Amino acid sequence: MATSPVDSAKQETEPDQLVKEKPELATPVTPESKQEAESYKTKANEQFKDKKFNDAIQNYTEAIKLDSTNPIYYSNRSMAYLRVESFGYALEDASKAIELDNKYTKAYYRRASSNMALGKFKKALKDYEAVMKVFPKDPDAKAKFAECNKIVNRQAFMKAISIETVTKPAIRSIQVEAYAVEDSYDGPRLEGDITADFMQQLIDRFRDQKLLHKRYAYKILIEIRKYFEAEQTVRDVRFPKNGKFTLCGDIHGQYYDLLNIFKLNGLPSPDNPYLFNGDFVDRGSFSVEVIFTMFGFKLLYPDHFFMARGNHETETMNQMYGFDGEVKYKYSSQMSEIFTDIFNCLPLAHLINDKVLVMHGGLFSKDDVTLDDIRKIDRFRQPPEEGLMCELLWSDPQHFNGRSPSKRGVGVHFGPDVTSKFLEKNKLDYIVRSHEVKDEGFEVAHDGKCITIFSAPNYCDQMGNKGAYINITSDLKPIYKSYSAVSHPSVKPMAYASPLLGLF
């Protein structure tokens, strides 16, 4: 079986550019069109190798228009969609390739990858089974099948004991006093409440790639769960007339870039409040350091440091994209379960001075959603595959009016008219969301009413994008601050991710 990522003799860009406004139009297939289609495929394959994935997608699309009977074009485009995290489109293309050739094993791999990224492990397992029937002795196929089967079995087990885990979260069994502090431990100690001095020591220790002792780590987790459990689903935030408020987007485990934000904009304090808008963890390999730093500041300044749930503060994402593996490597499996429970308690949105709504993903598949509807969401769970909670975490804006199926396979694309109606109904000025890489770290869309903020520069050490944060002043006017990535220790992104992600 070939090992090349695309069939051949083989920049990520803003996902909104990939939104499909209308179906692709195929032309009658002739020998000439087949030849021309091959030239587009060859060009796309070269672009894929150069990591110009969006350009590759466009050229695979041109090949499909000229010859819509060739499964390789769909399979290759599926792989490119996977690379830009357009999992819904990737799934669609892989299924089309299988429809054209039900023995085309690469297409089964592509579809399995898409289903895995969407957390649909049972469907992925069926595709691995199809590959195994053709290549029963292939070591890679066997490994992927075994890993996926392990996840399916674990999910079945967790479902069977779900009643017990809901009534008695793992955190309640933790006895902090049972974790003795060794004489050799030279890090910060937390005997009472968190102080600013403790936080500075913690930052310095993490910068030096040393861990907080398990005793104090568990103490922070116990206290932060109590706090978030008592939070509202939509947290109301107010700040003084003469002050500023800072909004940050995805951090994704890029701890040293988080420290750079604090260097550029100042450490959190009552006079320098922050809101981090989800996706604190996964992908970057310093997610443990990021999350404990954020939890520490939240406990130190509960009314001046805010955190909202993102789509990566979920069990399935953490199992796939590294946070689960990182916590187990640096601490324990028990702690990983505790993080899952705490993430279930995070607020879903923040309302700033009654006029600016901040959520991780975006708006909804139906009109007439009110702030009260959002406040009534039952958030203490894993997000469902549809509905208001899902869309808050997963949806994306599009540049044209109306709604479209999501490129991610979850949530919805919403246009300027949808944003305008939502703002008018709820008497809001604009919305701020995150969830998407942007070249400058931010994007202003929908006539200035929909702002995207992304704070992980050079995302996954390969995107070349800047990060950004927003300073909001008393008149609610956003001021954008872009910055470049800083160096970090030589631990690659995704170092703790599931082996299944080796497919894409």
Q: Which residues are annotated as catalytic?
A: 312
Say which residues have a Cβ less than 8 Å from residue 61's Cβ, sequence separation at least 6.
24, 77
Q: In 59-169, which ranges are E strands?
A: none
- Enumerate the β-bridge partners of residue 482: 468
Q: Single out the residue of 310, 317, 244 nearest to residue 279, CA to CA.
A: 310
Contact of 198 with 216, CB cutoff 8 Å: no
3-state class (DSSP) for residue 405: strand
Sheet-wide strand order for 478-483: 305-307, 274-276, 244-248, 467-473, 478-483
397/451 Cα distance (integer angstroms): 9
Helix (H) or strand (E) holding 470: strand 467-473
- Tell me which residue of 220, 291, 217, 208 sits closest to 253, measured CA to CA: 291
Tell me the H-state helices in 8-83.
31-49, 53-66, 71-83
- DSSP labels for 414-448? E-HHHHHHHHHHHT-SEEEE--S--TTSEEEETTT
Residue 436 identity: E
